[in-house]
């Protein structure tokens, strides 16, 4: 079974700063996806960024980028020029590529509460 660990329960930074959220995972699989989801106070889960394990290039989406270290099983999220609207819970998630969903699909970490201070 896969496990996802987020070791930072809460982080707080000033607006416009850069912040990095850490995530490690454990799996014996070779083909998988990794995700970061954002859950604002409205509680809706929003996909922030996705990384395919077979791709060496780190995924980027505007101010969001990842540092994917496959050998170390590490998948950190970097948020540049942080904004007040980035305040939310951030969940790292893992999915076994071949399962197509289900119990071997999305496995979530416990989340990191990110607070952006004005």
Partner 1 sequence: NAGVMQNPRHLVRRRGQEARLRCSPMKGHSHVYWYRQLPEEGLKFMVYLQKENIIDESGMPKERFSAEFPKEGPSILRIQQVVRGDSAAYFCASSPRTRANTGELFFGEGSRLTVL
Q: Which of residues 36-55 bind partner 1 (CB under 8 A)?
A: 37, 42-47, 50
| Nearest to partner 1 of 19, 95 (CB atom) | 95
1/59 Cα distance (integer angstroms): 25
What whole-number distance in Å separates Cα of residue 113 and Cα of residue 28? 28
CB 32 within 8 A of CB 101: no
CB 57, min distance to partner 1, A: 17
Is 85 a residue that touches partner 1 (CB under 8 A)? no
DSSP 8-state class, residue 37: E
Among 25, 88, 107, 114, binds partner 1 (CB under 8 A): 107
Do the Cβ atoms of 36 and 48 come closer than 8 Å? yes
Binding site for partner 1 (CB under 8 A): 4, 33, 35, 37, 42-47, 50, 91, 93, 95, 97-98, 100-103, 105-111
């Amino acid at each position: 079974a896969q496990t996802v660990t987020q070791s930072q329960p809460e982080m707080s930074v000033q607006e416009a700063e850069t912040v990095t959220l850490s995530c490690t995972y454990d799996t014996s699989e070779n083909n998988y996806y990794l995700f970061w989801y954002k859950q604002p106070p409205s509680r809706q889960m929003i996909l922030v960024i996705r990384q395919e394990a077979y791709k060496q290039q780190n995924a980027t989406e505007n101010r969001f980028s990842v540092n994917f270290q496959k050998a170390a099983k590490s998948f950190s999220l970097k948020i540049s020029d942080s904004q007040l609207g980035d305040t939310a819970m951030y969940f790292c998630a893992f999915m076994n590529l071949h399962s197509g969903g289900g119990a071997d699909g999305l496995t979530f970490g416990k989340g990191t509460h990110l607070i952006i201070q004005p």
